Structure formats: structure tokens, C-alpha cells
Amino acid sequence: MSIIQLDHVSVTFKRKKAADVQAVQDVTLHIEKGDIYGIVGFSGAGKSTLVRTINLLQKPTAGDVVVGGVDFVKDGKQVISGKDLQARRRKIGMIFQQFNLLNETTVIENIAFALKHSDLSDDELEEKCHKLLKLVDLEDKANSYPAQLSGGQQQRVAIARALANDPEILLSDEATSALDPQTTIQILDLLKKLNRELGLTIVLITHEMDAVKKIANKVAVMENGRVVENGNLRDVFLAPKAELTQKFVGGSLAVVDTLKSLNISLAENEALYQLVYSLNNVAKSIIIELYREVGVEASMLYGNVEVLADEPVGTLLVTVKGDADKQKATLKFLNDEGVTVTELDERGNRL
Ligand SMILES: Nc1ncnc2c1ncn2[C@@H]1O[C@H](COP(=O)(O)OP(=O)(O)O)[C@@H](O)[C@H]1O
Ligand SMILES: [Mg+2]
């Protein structure tokens, strides 16, 4: 069972003097334990509203929400409340663009605040807070006030506070959007570390595809309240289907652009393939091996390397001459080598 299951979730905001806003429309999303699930889309797409249905800060108007195997919403009806909901919510941390720290209290008090319901002794509480500060690499700032910290440090405090109750899930709503690029990278690295070391499941909402590319393993693209495309980062990134996704991923769009500018025409016994492969797995030259093993000549039209979730991924665009048997052997060889092959037409459309 997925740790977060949203099934046919919709959120409609009723307005008195204007048309209703359908902020989220029929979204089905299953997030597995240990995922860093990126949700990307432009402002107003419904990302925040959707993610708030996971901890019921936003009640859906339709659909089912199941978190950690516990029913939250069934058929648009909330089926958890009071102490049960409070307890479950503590297992879902959340961080925001604006940090939302208490400015009149110190860093350590900000963190302790999230534990005020617990029955820890004062000593245990202090120890827990210091452990959390260490986790986010801010041990020396325990007695500082938020205003004395940089944006990145403030977000670290917010992360420590979000982790105070040992959550299984962290919801991150544009957590790096107010930070400069260098600080953004540091915060993303920290989230990745927490994911790896604590097994934390992270839902990463952002309008920046680069953030998703850096740490997510899955991604959903939202537009007008709907998920228009979702799946493994690699698949979505390297072979985007929806027009909006193509806009977001940019990188592999270059393949289509290249083809348009090359204006090629394929001969009858010629096929055009996009090869995508992990550089870690394929050290040798695919094209040379292809010639040696299968006896077909591939001409390279385009080559590119992207870094996805810390892993370099290569893309090649090649044409291969040969009859149907040779093409079949080519596909088999490439598949066996762990290369993802997509046959394209002359304009770059998938066949
Ligand atoms: N409380 C609300 N009342 C009315 N409309 C809202 C409310 N919250 C969000 N919306 C509308 O819902 C849509 C989605 O908003 P939001 O979820 O914040 O998108 P995103 O996070 O992708 O920018 C927008 O059109 C927004 O104006
Ligand atoms: Mg938002």
C-alpha cells in the first residue's frame, strides 16, 4: 500500500459573487514510502491546495485520502477528527516558502514549540531539540533569534521543527522559492539527506523543475487543477508527453528542436531513435558496440548529458540503416544494454 493515496480528489472553492473555483479536479496520485515526489506547475495550478488535502488543512470536496493506511477522507467525507487527526497530523511535517517561524522566540524554542504536547521531561526535550539542530547542521544557533539568521538557516530551523515529531512524511510547499540558487541547492541536499537517512517520504511542491530534477525520483505535472502527467522522473523528463511538461523539462525538448532545425528525411530502411542511458551503466560507446555486435551503422545527430537526481543521463539521437530484422536486432541489443529506446518520426514525435 502506498503511504499517500489520493483517489479522484477534487477541491472546489465556492464564492459568493463569482463562479466557483475548481482548484483541484479529479486527481489520483499514489506516493510510495521513501519517494521524493515532485509536484510542478505554474502558479495557480492547484499544487498547494492539493498538498494541503494530505494533512487535511484543506478538506476535499470529493474523493478519497488515505495516509499511512489510515482513512482521512472517503467519498468527499472526512472520516477522521479530533485527537486521532491531531496524532496523525504530527506524523506529517510541513515547510513553506515563508518559513513561518515565531520571531519573538529563539531557534530552540521554535523547535520545542512543536513538542509542547509531548510528555518529554525538560532534559529530554532539550536533548531532542539539540539532536534536531544537529540534523540540520545548526547546533551553534540554538539561542539565536530567527531575524539573526539567513533565509537558508531559517528554513533549516523550520525543517528541524517539522521533524520534531518524527514524521514519516514531509510536505514541502515552495520551500526553496524565496532562496538564492546556492542556498536552494543546500536545502535540497539536506532534504535528500533526510530522505536517505530517515526514510522520510517527501512531497516537493515547486514551480522550479530544477529542484525536482535534483532530488525527486517521481514527478507529477499540474495544470488547471489536474495532473496532466506523472511517473518516474527519468521517464517523464526524458520523454515528456504533455505540452506543459515539455515546457517544464526544457532539456529533452532540445531533441525536438534539433530535429526541426535539421529537417531530416529518413530513407525507407532507416529508423530514427532517441537513446537514453545511464552513464554509470554504459561506460563503453554504444554506437561502436552496436556496430560490432549487430553490424549496423548508427549515425549520431545529437548528444547531450543531463544530471537527474545526481545521476548523469545521456541522450543520443541516432539514425540506423537496416532492414526489419536489423532494426529488431538493434532494439534488442540496446534494450539488453539497459538503454531506453524511443523511435521517433522525422519531426521528433514518438512512434
Ligand atoms: N481559499 C481559497 N478560496 C478561493 N480560491 C482559492 C483558495 N485557495 C486557492 N484558491 C484558488 O485555487 C487555485 C489553485 O490555487 P493554489 O492551490 O494556491 O495553486 P498553486 O499552489 O499551484 O499556485 C487558484 O485559482 C487560487 O486562486
Ligand atoms: Mg502554491
**DSSP labels for 61-104?**
SEEEEEETTEEEEETTEE---HHHHHHHHHTEEEEETT----TT
Distance, CA 207 to ligand 1 centroid (Å)? 14
Residue 219 CA to residue 230 CA, distance in Å, equals 5
Q: For residue 260, what pLDDT is reported?
A: 80
Q: Does the pLDDT value for residue 131 go beyond 80?
A: yes
Q: Is the CB of 44 under 6 A from ligand 1?
A: yes
Answer yes or no: are the C-beta atoms of 180 and 133 closer than 8 Å: no
The pick from 24, 49, 204, 227 for probing ligand 1's pocket by mutation, whose C-beta has the most ligand atoms within 8 angstroms, reads 49
> Would you say 165 and 88 are in contact if contact means Cβ atoms under 8 Å apart?
no
* Cβ–Cβ < 8 Å for 164, 132: yes
Tell me what the mean pLDDT of segment 200-206 comes to: 97
**Secondary structure of 232-286 in the HEC alphabet?**
EHHHHHHCCCCHHHHHHHCCCHHHHHHHHHHCCCCCCCEEEEEEEEECCCCCCCH
* Ligand 1 closest atom vs CA 48: 21
Atom of ligand 1 nearest to the CA of 24: 14
Contact (Cβ atoms closer than 8 angstroms) between residue 165 and residue 93: yes
pLDDT over 60 at 30, yes or no: yes
pLDDT tens per residue across span 166-184? 999 999 999 999 999 999 9
Per-residue CA distances from 178 to 133, 146, 226, 333 (Å): 22, 15, 25, 47
In 3-state terms, what secondary structure has residue 117?
coil
Task: Inform me whether the pLDDT recorded for 305 exceeds 80.
Answer: yes
The answer to whether 216 and 309 are in contact (CB under 8 A) is: yes
Average pLDDT of 126-154?
97
Alpha-carbon gap, residue 43 to 103, rounded angstroms: 28
What's the pTM value of the predicted model, to 2 decimals?
0.83
For residue 251, is pLDDT > 50? no
Residues 32-85: tens digit of each pLDDT = 999 999 999 999 999 999 999 999 999 999 999 999 999 999 999 999 999 999
How much is the mean pLDDT over the chain?
92
Going from the Cα of 347 to the center of ligand 2, the distance in angstroms, rounded, reads 36
Query: Ligand 2 center to residue 102 CA distance, Å?
Result: 22
In single-letter form, the type of residue at position 327 comes to: Q
pLDDT score, position 13? 97
Regarding the beta carbon of 201 and ligand 1, being less than 6 Å apart is answered no
Chain-centroid distance of CA 77 in Å reads 28
Q: Is residue 253's pLDDT more than 70?
A: no
| Cα(310)–Cα(188) distance, integer angstroms | 12
Q: What are residue 238's phi and psi, to 5 degrees?
A: -90, -20
Looking at all shown ligands, the one closest to residue 18's CA atom is 1
Tell me the C-alpha distance between 181 and 173, whole Å: 17
CB 344 within 8 A of CB 260: no
Residue 133 buriedness (CB in 10 A; 0-12 / 13-18 / 19+): buried
pLDDT-derived band at 243 (thresholds 50, 70, 90) equals confident
